[in-house]
Amino acid sequence: MPKSTGAREAKRRQIWDWIHAAVASNTDECADWPFGGRVREYGRITYQGTKRLTTHVVLELSGRPRPAAPDNRALHSCDRPSCCNPRHLRWGSMSSNCTDRDGQGHGRVPNQRGDVHSQAKLTEVAVRSIRERVAAGESQRVLAAEYGVRPSAISRAVTGARWGHVV
């Protein structure tokens, strides 16, 4: 059942009250967007008839109009996408955002593959074993269950679509 017009208007007022409070805030604490999403997500609202990132709206309402490209990205000094504290935000380019990200240790590490990759579920030793066992006729589905991965991960390891550097 859709929300009533009164409920929608009350929610809209609540959102705008929060935004104006964030703009006027004198705190150095993060002001995480509380309306939907998670802490690592950007807030979005409709502003002047267009769906916009909340950080952009906060910057504009705090007296910093959005510059022309390429310097039209909202950069966070606190490294929290959901933060809307104007003290933590500034305009910048994608390039300067990547430089900030890399300086904070969040960039992609070149050649980070195999077991050193932070999200690896298999090891190089396991991949060699899996390849031998599949060649000997074992089921990829059974191996997937044994290693706690999806069958597609086993298939990619066997074909070299992933773990291609492992000989």
Q: Would you state the pLDDT for residue 91?
A: 97
140 band by pLDDT with thresholds 50, 70 and 90: very high
| In-domain check, residue 140 | yes
Whether residue 140 is found in the same domain as residue 67: no
Percent of the chain residues past pLDDT 70, beyond the cut: 92
CA distance 150 to 167: 22
- The answer to whether residues 121 and 149 touch, using CB atoms and an 8 Å cutoff, is yes
| In-domain check, residue 164 | no
Whether residue 91 is found in the same domain as residue 143: no
Whether residue 71 is found in the same domain as residue 127: no
Q: Would you state the pLDDT for residue 111?
A: 66
Whether residue 125 is found in the same domain as residue 88: no
| In-domain check, residue 165 | no
Determine if the pTM surpasses 0.95: no
Average pLDDT over residues 140-162: 94
Whether residue 83 is found in the same domain as residue 124: no
Whether residue 18 is found in the same domain as residue 96: yes
Whether residue 146 is found in the same domain as residue 79: no
The string of pLDDT tens digits covering residues 55-99 is 999 999 999 999 999 999 999 998 888 899 999 999 999 999 888
- The answer to whether residues 31 and 57 touch, using CB atoms and an 8 Å cutoff, is no
Among the listed residues 116, 119, 118, the one whose alpha carbon sits nearest the alpha carbon of residue 165 = 116
Whether residue 69 is found in the same domain as residue 15: yes
- The answer to whether residues 75 and 100 touch, using CB atoms and an 8 Å cutoff, is yes
Q: Would you state the pLDDT for residue 152?
A: 95
112 band by pLDDT with thresholds 50, 70 and 90: confident
Q: What is the mean pLDDT of the chain?
A: 89
CA distance 54 to 165: 43
Whether residue 133 is found in the same domain as residue 79: no
| In-domain check, residue 166 | no
Average pLDDT over residues 125-140: 96
Q: Would you state the pLDDT for residue 108?
A: 62
Whether residue 24 is found in the same domain as residue 61: yes
What residues make up the domain containing 137?
114-159
Whether the pLDDT of residue 147 is over 80: the answer is: yes
Whether residue 135 is found in the same domain as residue 95: no
**Structural domains counted in the chain:** 2
Whether residue 70 is found in the same domain as residue 143: no
